[in-house]
Every structure is written in structure tokens, then in C-alpha cells.
Amino acid sequence: MMIHTNNYILNIKELWDDVPEEYLSHKERYENAIKKAFIVLKVLRQLHTGNIQITDHRTPTNVYSIQDGIFRNVNPLLIHIGLFWSTIAAQASTEQQAEWLQPDSSMIGTYVQTELGHGSFIRGIETTATYDSTTDEFILHTPRLSAYKWWPGGLGNTANACLVMAQLYINGTCHGLHIFLAQIRDFDTHKPLPGIKVGEIGPKMGFNTADNGFLGFDNHRIPRTNMLMKNVQVLRDGTYVKPKHDKLTYGSMLLTRVTLISDLAYQLSKAATIAVRYSAVRRQSPIKSNEPERQILDFVSQQHKLFITIASSHVYRVVGLWMWNSHKRVTADIHEGNMGQLPELHALACCLKAISSRDASALVEQCRLACGGHGYMMASNLPQIYAYTTAAVTYEGEYTVLLLQTARYLVKFWRLAAEHKPLPQNFAYFEDYIKKNFEQWRNSPEGIIEGFKAIVAGKTKAAYDTLQCNLRNGREFEEAWNMASVQLTNASEAYARSLLCEVFWKETVQLSTKVSKSLAIVLEQLAELYLMYWALEKHGDLLLYSTISRNDIEALQSRYEELLALIRPNAVGLVDAFDIRDEVLCSTLGAYDGRVYERMMEEASKSPLNEDVVNESFHKYIRPVTMKNKL
Ligand SMILES: CCCCCCCCCCCCCCCCC/C=C/C(=O)SCCNC(=O)CCNC(=O)[C@H](O)C(C)(C)COP(=O)(O)OP(=O)(O)OC[C@H]1O[C@@H](n2cnc3c(N)ncnc32)[C@H](O)[C@@H]1OP(=O)(O)O
Ligand SMILES: Cc1cc2nc3c(=O)[nH]c(=O)nc-3n(C[C@H](O)[C@H](O)[C@H](O)COP(=O)(O)OP(=O)(O)OC[C@H]3O[C@@H](n4cnc5c(N)ncnc54)[C@H](O)[C@@H]3O)c2cc1C
């Protein structure tokens, strides 16, 4: 039977809510989500074992692309599928993968790294894994409250196993962070095993079906062979066999940061679809007093708020794929023992995950604000998309922490440039900046890309010079670094923006040669709009570090406004092209049929507060006050 996954899933009625989850309790929301999660997992397993033949072979992405509609919030198995499986596949030995990655495995896992006391500084993680050679086991232990694992998705009630990041001790020597597989609940009864204290952390701003939990180990024993041993081994006699690179253990964070860029593109496409479609339906205020009220999409200020969101979704789709391919290439090199490209991949993943999540969070909020009061309704789905998206600024590497990682990379190459040592081609512009080989400003995409490189060079130089000045003033390096950290993060942000503009423009120009002329025009307008938008946002930096003039900036503003007008006729077509089904969009404002007010009223009627003409609280609380002594 050849079917399309989407249609197969869409026909499973129990997956599609009758009662909006906003009217469920914290517990009901979880139970409702788990019911759906295991229906989806069963479908994935049937697809994996070929029990369901499908026409669409992008299954995981396909199922993923509609799971938003199923869960409205988050699939409680997201970490099981998105991190637990992927970490085992990337860091477990062949034998371990054969044992643990069975399609019908009883394990439902999560990725357990963050502790109450440590999230960013993972070398400070306190959970220990001590090798006991007498029993050929590791003893997992949580020495104090701050060492309790806190946050992992699915940990509260769902997971019966987990990958634990812990400090490895052998014969009193600490070998640093390693990953261990630990069963935490009985597969049959689901009761926590002896020595395991586990629970759910309570309501959050979003992710309220993610079942985030806490976990403490009380001298919990696991077999030695439960340490993930693809890159590193502990032998039966306690011999420690070092990995080829001590950050391979951090590989899951690197992969998730790369994956997140594409996920954020998808979140932006949803928010843009909702806000642009609503702006085409909503009429508010005439432009000329003697004319009818206009579509708010005709207001240039509204176009300024929304078209950057359409463009940014494409930027992160393109850059997300570029980073995915880079990750595949570097991973293949690492498999061959070549670690040379890992530092660059880490630096790019850090700044691009940081900036993409910050952009996406701000732009989803901008879409909500652009929809006025109706955007503030849960039924618009914009609040949920915001709550989901803004979490990405924090998890998988907090924004500032990751930008500082990229700053280490930039400072390293600036030092080479300052010492007139050879530079890789992608940093040749550092040398140009030092030699003041500045190109005359051009008000073109290529000119803007060069301008953003000048900003990177200028900001990196400024941060580096401050660092050197702090050191000359007798500060220790770490203190000098901390004192320069604002400038360091600014340099990393500029580097990310420079990459985004360059990669997106180049990919768009290439793509334009493969599509129809009319489509190529629209794609290049979107790409040019992105570059113009950010050149105007960063015009101060361009004035500081490039050869742009005030007249050039005024010309950029004019061209930007031209582009808004050019894109306006295609705006609805551009978001329709994201092709997000109404069942996935879950939005009264963004539905394809544009029946906004009817859908808003339909959703309002589902409120339990509309079940009774007079709510019982009138008789209990209101009437005794308002009608006292009046009868
Ligand atoms: C139904 C179908 C479903 C399908 C789903 C599948 C699709 C999924 C879609 C995507 C959606 C995903 C949603 C995710 C939901 C939430 C999940 C969240 C999970 C988590 O949050 S897990 C925990 C994450 N935690 C972190 O990220 C911690 C951040 N901190 C760190 O990474 C480190 O502490 C550090 C990097 C900041 C510092 O580390 P350390 O102190 O050890 O290192 P130094 O700063 O001293 O640097 C030393 C040198 O090491 C290099 N380095 C550091 N890290 C790496 C690395 N990862 N790789 C390579 N190299 C690294 C530094 O660059 C230094 O090198 P240098 O040369 O000396 O500069
Ligand atoms: C929705 C969600 C899901 C999550 N899922 C998981 C999961 O499945 N598994 C898991 O293990 N974890 C998970 N986490 C935890 C997440 O990885 C951490 O919250 C994240 O790494 C940030 O660490 P933290 O919370 O300790 O913040 P902190 O690091 O304490 O950050 C607080 C502030 O301190 C600043 N700061 C910290 N270090 C530095 C520094 N060196 N220099 C300058 N400023 C600094 C930060 O910039 C920030 O402003 C999740 C978190 C969320 C919100």
C-alpha cells in the first residue's frame, strides 16, 4: 500500500485535539501528549520496519514537520528521538549500537547533562562515574543537591533510560566528562530503580509537554560496558584509552546546534505565514480618509515588520543546510582521524546557533505584535511559537556563552594577522583590514557583504586591542578576557551576520540560475532585502568600520523601501509557498481560508467558561456583595 505519511498521520483521529490543550491541567497536558507521542512512535517503528509503505521518503522530517500540529507544544519524545538515539549512533561503539539501537527497544531515553548547579560550564558538572574494577562496574553518584540533573526532556515521567554526562574517575584520577547509558526505571513496571530519585520540574514558559525532569543517583551501579566507547575506552583492568580529541564527547551538542538552525527556519516560516496571511485579511484604518479601510499589509511599516521574517526563514533554511553539510563533511573527516576542521565547525555552530535563535525569537515576537490584540490570543498560536522558539536562545548552549566560544576562534586568527603570519583564505580580509586595503563602498549585495566583513575585522581588532591593553596593565588573561567580553561577543555576532549574508546571497544567486526567471527575481529581492535590512540595522558599525557614507545609507534606505513595495504583491504567495497545513499551523489568524473572525469565534466557543449562561461563581461570590441589603 503506497500512502503519503502526512495523510496516514492525519487520518489517525486520536492525534488531533478536540479540546485545546490550554484547557487541560499540567498533568492532563502531559498525559494527552504521551498518548499521541506513542501513536507517532508506533508509526515511526512501522515505517522503519516497512509495515507501512510510503511515497514520501523524507519520513522523519515529514513526521517532524507535522508533529507541531499534533503536539501544539513539544513531543515528549523529542529528546529520545532528537538526542538519545543520535548520541548513541554517534558515540557508542558498533557493538553497543547493535545492542541499544534496536527498532523495538524497550528503552525510552533522554540526554542528561545539565545539573541544578551547572548548565553552561559543563566542566563544573558534579555527577561522578567511578570505576569499580572488583565488579567491572561504574558507580554513578549525585554528591549534593546542586549535582542533581535538572532540565532533561522526557526525564520526569517518560524515560526509563538516559545518557548521563558525568565526571569519570578511575583509581582516584578524574578523566573529565564522559557519557554513560543508565537504565533508571523498570522496563515492565516503570518504577524508578533502587538508588534513583526522579521527577518532573514543574510548569515552564513553554515546552509544557516536554516532561522536563530532575534525577539524582545514590551510588547507582551500571556495567563498565555502559560507557559510550566509540571514541574512548575503559578496559577491564581500568586502563583509560584516550580519545583522539577531548571534545568528541561534546559532539551531541555540536550536532543539535547545527540542527537547530533549520528548526528555527521552520518556526519562522510558521510565524510569517500566520502574520502575513492575517495582515492580508485584516482591514484597519484608511490611508486616504475618503477611501475604505486598507489591508494592514499595505502599510509599509507592517511590511517592514514582516518581510524580514519571510527572508530570515529562507536564510536559516539555506544556512541550516550549509551547516548540516559541513557537519557531515567534518564528521566523515573525524571518522578518518582528521580533526582539523572541528574547531571551525564548533565556532560556526556556536555563533550561528546563537544568532539564529536570537533572531528567530525576536522576529516571532515581532510577528505577534504585528497582529495586534488577536496575536495575543493563544488561538493565534503565535504565543506558543514564541515560547518554543525563545527557549532555543538558552538551551543547547546559552547565547553569550556560545558567542564567547566563537570569539576565541576570531581572536586566534586576528593574532595571526596582527603578527603578519599566514591566514586561511576565509580570514584574508583580516590582513586587508590591517593594511587598510578598503574597497570603495558599493550599494550592492556584494558591497554590503564586504562591509560586514569590515565590521568583523574592526570589532575583532577592537576586542583584541582591549585584551592586549588589559594584559599590559597587568591583568591575568582570564580577567583580561572577562573585561573585554562585551566587545568579544559583539565581534562574534558580527561574524555570524557576515556569514549569514554571504552564504545566503551566494546560494540565492546560484539557485536563481536553476529556477524560472520570475521566481529568480523574487528570490533575489528577498535576499537583497535581507542584506539591506541588516545594513540599515548596523549602519553605525558600517560608518565606523567601512567606507560607507551618509549618502550611501540614505540610498540604502530608498532601495530598501523599493524592495518592500516590490515584495508586497508576492507576500501572500511567498508564505503560501512554505506550504504549512492548517492542522499544523493551528492558527485562527493564519488559516488558508482567511475566515479569521469565524475561526476566532469558533475557538472562543470551546472555552469551558461558555458552558453555563451564569457561572456558579456569581451566586457564590459576586451576588453576596453586589446584592447585599438590596432585596
Ligand atoms: C517525531 C519525530 C521527531 C524528530 C525530531 C528530530 C529533529 C529535531 C529538531 C531540532 C529541535 C531540537 C530541540 C531541542 C530541545 C531542547 C534540547 C536541549 C538540550 C540541551 O540543552 S543539552 C545541554 C546543552 N548544554 C550545553 O550546550 C552546554 C554549553 N557549554 C558548553 O558547551 C561548554 O561548557 C563550553 C563549550 C562553553 C566550554 O567547554 P570547556 O570549558 O570544556 O571548553 P573551553 O571553553 O575551555 O574550550 C577549550 C577548547 O575546546 C573547544 N571546544 C569547546 N567545545 C567544543 C565542541 N563542542 N567541539 C569542538 N571543540 C570544542 C574550544 O573551542 C576550545 O578550543 P581552543 O582552541 O582552546 O579555543
Ligand atoms: C526548554 C529547555 C530544555 C532543555 N533541555 C535540556 C535537556 O534535554 N538536557 C540537558 O542536559 N539540558 C537541557 N536544558 C538545559 C540547558 O542546556 C541549560 O539551561 C543551558 O545550557 C544554559 O545553562 P544554565 O541554565 O545553567 O544557564 P547559566 O549558564 O547559569 O546562564 C545564566 C547567565 O549566566 C551567563 N553566563 C554563564 N556562563 C558565562 C560565561 N562563561 N561568561 C559570560 N556569561 C556567562 C549566561 O550568559 C546567562 O546570562 C534545557 C533548557 C531549557 C530551557
Q: What is the pLDDT of residue 485?
A: 98
Q: Is the C-beta atom of 77 inside 6 A of ligand 2? A: no
Amino acid present at 483: M
Nearest to 448 by CA among 502, 504, 510, 503: 502
Q: Which one of 192, 217, 244 terminates a domain?
A: 244
| Amino acid identity for residue 448 in this structure | I
Q: Is there a single domain that holds both residue 219 and residue 260?
A: no
Both 217 and 292 in one domain: the answer is no
Q: How far apart are CA 553 and CA 536, in angstroms?
A: 7
Of 20, 67, 25, the closest CA to residue 377 belongs to: 20
- Considering the domain architecture, whether residues 123 and 40 belong to the same structural domain is answered as yes
The amino acid present at 511, given as its one-letter code, is L
Expressed in angstroms and rounded, the spacing between residue 247 Cα and the centre of ligand 1 is 9
Identify whether 28 is a catalytic site residue: no
Q: Burial level of 530, CB count in 10 A (0-12/13-18/19+)? A: buried
Contacts of 153 (CB under 8 A, 6+ apart): 74, 76, 78, 79, 83, 110, 111, 207, 210, 211, 212
> Above 70 in pLDDT, residue 626?
yes
Q: What is the average pLDDT score of the chain? A: 94
Once rounded to an integer, what is the mean pLDDT over residues 592-598? 98
Which ligand sits nearest to residue 397's alpha carbon?
1
Residue 571 CA to ligand 2 centre (angstroms): 37
| pLDDT reading at 190 higher than 90 | yes
Question: CA-CA distance, 624 to 622, in Å (whole number)?
Answer: 6
Give me the pLDDT at residue 2, please. Answer: 46
Kindly give the number of the ligand 1 atom that is closest to the alpha carbon of 401.
37
pLDDT in the model for residue 56? 46
* 134 in a structural domain: yes
Burial (CB count within 10 angstroms: exposed 0-12, middle 13-18, buried 19+), residue 514: exposed
Strands 196-200 vs 161-170: parallel, antiparallel or unpaired: unpaired
Q: How many domains does the chain have?
A: 2
Minimum mean pLDDT range among 44-58, 85-99, 204-218: 44-58
254 has a pLDDT exceeding 90: yes
Task: Note whether residue 511 is domain-resident.
Answer: yes
Q: Is 280 exposed, middle or buried (0-12, 13-18, 19+ CB in 10 A)?
A: middle
User: The C-alpha cell of 557 is what?
Assistant: 534606505
Same domain for 271 and 148: no
The pLDDT, as a whole number, for residue 629 is 77
DSSP type of residue 442: -
Range of the domain at 480: 254-420+442-574
Over the range 154-169, which residues count as b (16 or more CB within 10 Å of their CB) and which as e? bbbbbbbbbbbbbbbb
Q: Is residue 447 a part of any domain in this protein? A: yes
Pocket flag, ligand 2, residue 8 (CB < 6 Å): no
Q: Is residue 266 part of a domain?
A: yes
Closest atom, ligand 2, to C-alpha of 155:
8
| 176 plus 293 within the same structural domain | no
Atom of ligand 1 nearest to the CA of 37: 1
Q: Are residues 287 and 366 in the same domain?
A: yes
Q: Which helix (H) or strand (E) holds 596?
A: helix 596-605
Best residue among 39, 65, 177, 395 to mutate for probing ligand 1, ranked by most atoms within 8 Å of CB? 395
Please state, as a whole number, how many other Cβ atoms lie within 10 Å of the Cβ of residue 221. 16
Res 58 pLDDT > 50: no
Residue of 137, 396, 493, 507 marked active site:
396
> Which residues, 6+ apart, have CB-to-CB distance to 395 below 8 Å?
151
Average pLDDT over residues 2-6: 58
Q: Are residues 63 and 102 in the same domain?
A: yes
| Within-domain flag for 606 | no
Instruction: Tell me the pairing of strands 149-150 and 213-217.
Output: antiparallel
**Which ligand gives the minimal distance to the CA of 255?**
1
Residues 305 and 222 in one domain: no
Does residue 438 or residue 262 have the better pLDDT?
A: 262
pLDDT at 50 over 70: no
**CATH code of the domain containing 126:** 2.40.110.10
Q: Which residue's alpha carbon is nearest to atom 22 within ligand 1?
A: 396
Evaluate whether 278 touches 374 at the Cβ level (below 8 Å): yes
Confidence of residue 52 (pLDDT cuts 50, 70, 90): low
Residue 494 pLDDT > 80: yes
152: Cβ below 6 Å to ligand 2? yes
Tell me what percent of the residues of the chain surpass a pLDDT of 90. 89
Quick one: 191 and 316 in the same domain?
A: no
Instruction: For residue 113, give the ligand 2 atom closest to its CA.
Output: 11
> In this structure, what CATH number is given to the domain that contains residue 319?
1.20.140.10
- DSSP type of residue 228: -
Do 411 and 512 lie in one domain? The reply is yes
Nearest by Cα to 150 from 191, 192, 198? 198
Q: Which ligand is nearest to the CA of 109?
A: 2
Neighbouring-strand partners of residue 161: 183
pTM recorded for the entire structure: 0.96
Whether residues 305 and 346 share a domain: the answer is yes
Task: Note every long-range contact of 509-512, with CB atoms under 8 Å and residues 24 or more positions apart, other chains counting.
Answer: none
Q: Quick check: is 588 in a domain?
A: no
With cell 532585502, the residue in question is 529
What is the C-alpha separation between 487 and 458, in angstroms, rounded? 11
Residue at a domain's end among 216, 244, 272: 244
Dump pLDDT digits (tens) for 285-316: 999 999 999 999 999 999 999 999 999 999 99
Single-letter code of the amino acid located at 571 = A
Of the three residues 193, 211, 244, the one that is the final residue of a domain is 244
* Mode of pairing for the β-strands spanning 111-112 and 161-170: parallel
Examine residue 136 and state whether it is found in any structural domain, yes or no: yes
Pull the grid cell for residue 356: 539564529
ipTM score: 0.98
Is the domain of 363 the same as that of 463? yes
- Return the best residue to mutate from 401, 402, 488 for the ligand 2 pocket (most ligand atoms within 8 A of CB): 401
Q: Residue 624 domain-assigned?
A: no
The pLDDT score that the predictor gives to residue 354 is 98
Over residues 330-335, mean pLDDT: 95
Ligand 1 atom 62: residue of nearest CA: 405
Q: Give the tens place of pLDDT for each residue, 226-242.
A: 999 999 999 999 999 99
